[in-house]
Amino acid sequence: MITEKEFAESLKRIFAQEPELNALSLEEVLAPVPCIEQLSLPAGTRVLMRCDLDVPLENGAVVDESRLESIAKSVKYAVAQEWTPILFGHLGRDPQNSLKRVAEALGKLLGTEIDFVADWISDSGDSLVDCFRENVSRYGSGQVVMLENTRKYAVERTLWKLAPDDFDDAVGGLYNLSKDIYRNVATVVINEALAASNFDFSSVVLPLLMDKVAYGFYLNEEMTQHVKGARESQLVVFSGLKIDKLNDLEKVIERGKLKMIIAAGSLAMALKKAQAQLSGSDFGLGLAEEDSDAKFFIEEKRIEQAKRMLKECDSLGIEVVLPVDFVLNDGEISASIPSGKSQMDIGPESRKLFSEKLAEFGQTVESATLFYNGVFGKFEDEQFAGGTQAFIAELGKATEAGVRTYVGGGEGRMALLRYGQLSDVSHCFTAGGTILKSLGNKHIAYVKANYLQSQR
């Protein structure tokens, strides 16, 4: 087991976004970390498995099992090896969310009973609760265990918004909890959680102390094949309600791979206004700049960020394609967004423009590859779903024409399943935000954590 000083040094390299780590290629940071089938462990070994358990629930039932299906092969493999897999992960952002129903659903999928642990970290956050520590040794070979939602505990989120000056004070508690887990639960962690891209304790901190780390079957394939492929995208199609996606897009631009950007939603609104102001005019955003309480409100600092991004695109020769008309919240089609109104979808002229640009991209770019994330409007309302539906059809045509097409998880995956099928694209991910980050100029935190552990 490494010392607290060694632990702190490794964690700080990740937390501080050390340039040397981010400068490594994806292949370099992935190669030293084995896949689960390369582990040689005796029967009865307890292994912690960080899993994608953040699945949608309605009335207590799992309504989309795709993430559970993605971890099933690794769990079954661990059971077949007579290990004791102890699964953990998060469910949403609400600490009150419980994984109990998820454990039941996964148990049915696996055809085995899962022992659910409702409480496992102490209130102090630097140790395990006594009853879990005492009971863990009773789990036998092949027994599957699931721990309660990691976000139930504040320690999981310690690094999320930690100021750099407070880092040294936080390390002790993180090390003590990791040490308690190492001594009493397991010394091996298998990561099978593609979507665990935050600076979480479970996916970034804990692996640093372990004797062995590995990737599960699904995560290993996603990272070494599909994420690698998506990172070669020369076209990204970004949309959605969240304006903070501008941060992700900016990092993708900085990597210097892009030739074209197609944007809609809030991102396009910020870019549209910035574009107008850079040319000496302006573009009104309606409620998006008038209602500061609205989820789609766009602050002035975002317009300045968008200006910076457009200038960078201009210097790199990246074409930025933005909507030219909109479906407003009253159903009207308009080339502008009047005061008191909001855009809810792209209009027919924008759909035509996007289709033409996508076709042009496929015909003129060598080894054409694109990544699509988000939806163009409030697509859950059929009145505002036309833009998304039309573009999903265009994605299918692009794939048939030889373009490598990647779709991010979340709403992009939902739209593909609603208006097409998974086979319409080259690959559809089960995670959206993680892939956005992977396309940028910094590696995912858990990838760096596993790499650093493997270098010891």
Cα dist from 168 to 16, 172, 173, 269, whole Å: 12, 8, 10, 40
Q: Which band of pLDDT confidence, cut at 50, 70 and 90, is reported for residue 244?
A: confident
Same domain? 60 vs 159: yes
Same domain? 241 vs 384: yes
Nearest to 396 by CA among 378, 375, 374, 415: 415
Domain count, the chain: 2
Same domain? 163 vs 258: no
Same domain? 370 vs 446: no
How, if at all, do strands 57-58 and 235-238 pair?
unpaired
Mean pLDDT of 405-419: 89
Same domain? 103 vs 215: yes
Q: Which band of pLDDT confidence, cut at 50, 70 and 90, is reported for residue 60?
A: confident
Same domain? 179 vs 106: yes
Mean pLDDT of 274-295: 94
CB 210 within 8 A of CB 345: no
pTM of the predicted model as reported, rounded to 2 decimal places: 0.88
Same domain? 313 vs 419: yes
pLDDT at 106 over 90: yes
Mean pLDDT for the chain? 94
Distance, CA of 421 to CA of 438 (rounded, Å):
24
Mean pLDDT of 267-271: 95
pLDDT at 90 over 90: yes
Same domain? 96 vs 189: yes
**Residue whose pair of structure tokens reads 């721990």 in the numeric block:** 147
Q: What is the pLDDT of residue 381?
A: 84
Q: What is the pLDDT of residue 344?
A: 94
Q: Which band of pLDDT confidence, cut at 50, 70 and 90, is reported for residue 338?
A: very high
Angle at 374 between CA 370 and CA 61, to 5 degrees: 125
How confident is the model over 186-231, as pLDDT tens digits? 999 999 999 888 999 999 999 999 999 999 999 999 999 999 999 9
Q: Measured in whole angstroms, how far is the alpha carbon of residue 316 from the centre of its chain?
A: 27
Helix axes of 300-316 and 245-255: crossing angle, nearest 10 degrees: 20
Q: What is the pLDDT of residue 380?
A: 83
Same domain? 177 vs 97: yes
Q: Which band of pLDDT confidence, cut at 50, 70 and 90, is reported for residue 240?
A: confident
Percent of the chain with pLDDT over 90: 86
Same domain? 353 vs 375: yes
CATH number, position 62:
3.40.50.1260
Q: Which band of pLDDT confidence, cut at 50, 70 and 90, is reported for residue 252?
A: very high
Range of the domain at 161: 4-224+442-454
Q: What is the pLDDT of residue 249?
A: 93
Q: Which band of pLDDT confidence, cut at 50, 70 and 90, is reported for residue 382?
A: confident
pLDDT at 355 over 90: yes
Residues 6+ apart with CB under 8 A from 388: 345, 375, 376, 377, 379, 415, 419
Mean pLDDT of 117-124: 96
Q: What is the pLDDT of residue 176?
A: 97
Mean pLDDT of 47-71: 93
Same domain? 217 vs 237: no
Same domain? 71 vs 217: yes
Q: What is the pLDDT of residue 215?
A: 98
How, if at all, do strands 260-263 and 235-238 pair?
parallel
